[in-house]
Amino acid sequence: MNHKCVSDPAPALSSRQALRKYFGYDTFRTHQSDIIDRVMDGKDAFVLMPTGSGKSICYQIPSILRPGVGVIVSPLIALMQDQVDALQENGVRAAYLNSSLSAEAASRVIRRVVEGCVDILYVAPERLLMPGFQQLLSRVAIALFAIDEAHCVSQWGHDFRPEYRRIAGVTNAFPGVPRLALTATADRLTRDDIVEKLELNRATAFVSSFDRPNITYRIQLKNSAKKQLLDFLRAEHPDDAGIVYVRTRKRADDIAAWLQEQGLKALPYHAGLARDLRIAHQQRFLREEGVVMVATIAFGMGIDKPDVRFVAHLDLPSSMEAYYQETGRAGRDGQPADAWMVYALADVVAMRKLQETSDGNDAFKQIQRRKLESLLGFCETAVCRRKALLNYFDESYPEVCGNCDNCNESVETWDATIPAQKALSCVYRTGQRFGAAHLTDVLLGNETERIRHLGHHRLKTFGVGQELSARQWRSVYRQLIAAGRLAVTTAAIPGFCLCPESWPVLKGESRLMLRRDPEPVQAKKRSRASVQPAVDFESQADLGLWERLRRLRLEIAQANDIPPFVVFHDKTLREMVLEKPTNRSEFLALNGVGEHKTDQYSERFLDAIRDHEHEKGS
């Protein structure tokens, strides 16, 4: 066996030197240095950082610096190759083991691990639990265990995976090896559950701010959802990469096909696609520009693409955690991005029914019910959305953000106590089994054939609601359900029924203020980062250099079969345009440029900059 990798001593580096050498940055972000120091000391850590805040650095640098291999447990199999590609581009010895590898390829990885030629190894939780893999771990030095997407261990989280419950049984077999649990999304209950289930009672917790200031949050009522989406994309993101989330596989296929008919580069992505096709779609999303991925909420998407300019929801996610996680895939590069959602009464009813008919005991259903109520409350709130979102995660936000629809557009509330009493009374008197359309007809006094057949034209509530329009009554019912003042039946065709929280309103013991629905408006074209680079270049010549460097990056990416952002992020290209480095040392000083990338690419990019400057001067 070749022991060359084990016997080659790595130069002793500090964590800050490793950050510059491999990743091209001079300073750590909030908490990163403290987390790395703790792990370097052999101690455990619980890390909660929002998407795009640099969680991966917290285990990658200790894995490089500590003796042995860092074992990274991740459920995102489709993402592992891209993570490993990015690390290898930075000169890091990284590999992955999952079901996508052939037996021969997996054997090669295992051989490299045994020979000490791998510093970072990504594995799926199922692989970690295999006896054969645990035998491999017993034969090698382990630098650390990192459990990524740690919320998957908790049944209170939004993406529970039973195999995560067995991870502690494996990691406990290696005392003295530090462990990190990392997640971007977890409320207080889920955090406590993660620590308990992964047996991290001695771990120091590092909780960063949940705020993503570059994301604009907007929620609208559905009014021809497909047209609203198309207007939004054409007005604000005509050439941008983004994700559209929907509830079902069929809807993902239909929306993607419809967007293609409208001239957009759209692809479906869900668990029902053939594996090769799903991987091909993800590769196009990562490697091409301007691709819109239409994905199911339930399947999710593990992506590491920094320049996603929007996340759009055409259907409600299941919880605030799911909403935060999914919208967090936008704007990882720190540039402006949109979190845009439309929803309607039918979505609220569908989600309520889905919860009530789901598997799980009463305690589980109660927690999920509370989570959905929090999400619906967020949709209906009249206060700053960022303030409401951060408050859910126990973080105060003292000001208004000025970067959400509620801050930028006036929101009215009104005293709906009496209309709510009429609406609830109508539910009760009609037998607690009808939906909004029938109840609205009763309140408006519409003597339809069905109403006459049921005798509902003789009820006291018939015609008592003519002060509101049909649209306004649908709003009242939607907000009553959102506020937990009205329940949804579990019948094949769900209707409404009263619940304990209905009675204080009905009896006049509780005043009810509701949000006044705005009139539907067409999306207005805005000047976005998609139309111009997110920095203002001083001249057309600089803009020309920007385009030249982007073409060179794409050429390199295609030749190496990697996404363009793995070569260099947009931020780094912009810095090249502004700084115009003339030699290797100036190139190495750019943010996001480490030694390995300097060795690989500096000559080509420096030549492109020199040629551009020469052409400009001639």
Report d(CA 226, CA 543) in Å as an integer: 35
Distance CA 205, CA 198 (A): 13
**Residue range 500-520: average pLDDT?**
88
| Mean pLDDT confidence for 57-66 | 96
Q: What is the DSSP letter of 402?
A: S
Query: Does the pLDDT value for residue 367 go beyond 90?
Result: no
Supply the pTM of this predicted model: 0.82
Query: In this prediction, what percent of the chain has a pLDDT beyond 70?
Result: 93
Confidence of residue 527 (pLDDT cuts 50, 70, 90): very low
- Please report the pLDDT score of residue 537 as a whole number: 73
Is the pLDDT assigned to residue 8 strictly greater than 60? Answer: no
Mean pLDDT of all residues in 96-110: 92
Across the range 323-341, mean pLDDT stands at: 92
Mean pLDDT confidence for 532-551: 78
pLDDT for 610 beyond 60: yes
User: Is 511 or 355 the better-scoring residue by pLDDT?
Assistant: 511
Amino acid 366: pLDDT: 78
Mean pLDDT across the chain, nearest whole number?
89
Alpha-carbon distances of 166 from 129, 161, 170, rounded to whole Å: 7, 10, 7
The answer to whether residue 533 scores a pLDDT higher than 60 is no
- CA dihedral (573, 577, 579, 583) positive or negative: positive
Looking at the predicted structure, is the pLDDT value of residue 589 above 90? yes
Can you tell me whether residue 441 is helix, strand or coil?
Answer: helix
Terminal Cα distance for the chain, rounded: 59
- pLDDT of 214: 93
Q: Give φ, ψ of 5 to 5 degrees.
A: -65, -40
Q: How far apart are alpha carbons 401 and 316 in whole angstroms?
A: 23
Give the whole-number percent of the chain exceeding pLDDT 90.
Answer: 65
Angle at 382 between CA 381 and CA 385, to 5 degrees: 65
Instruction: Summarize pLDDT for 280-300 with one digit per residue, the tens.
Output: 898 899 888 899 999 987 555
pLDDT of the residue at 291 = 95
Nearest to 496 by CA among 509, 478, 516, 514: 478
Of 339, 225, 241, nearest to 292 (Cα)?
241
In this structure, the strands spanning 69-73 and 487-488 are: unpaired
Choice between 88 and 482, residue whose per-residue pLDDT is larger: 88
| pLDDT confidence band for 147 (50 / 70 / 90) | very high
Higher pLDDT, 234 or 76: 234
Closest CA to 179 of 157, 147, 222, 142: 147
What is the rounded average pLDDT of the residues 349-372?
78
- Higher per-residue confidence, 189 vs 589: 589
Please indicate whether residue 158 or residue 424 has the higher confidence score (pLDDT).
Answer: 424
pLDDT in tens, 181-216: 999 888 888 899 999 999 999 999 999 989 999 999
pLDDT exceeds cutoff 70 at 516 = yes
- For the packed helices 77-89 and 275-287, what is the interaxial angle rounded to 10 degrees? 40
Average pLDDT over residues 320-325: 89
Q: Report whether pLDDT(532) > 50.
A: no
Give the tens place of pLDDT for each residue, 17-35: 999 999 999 999 999 999 9
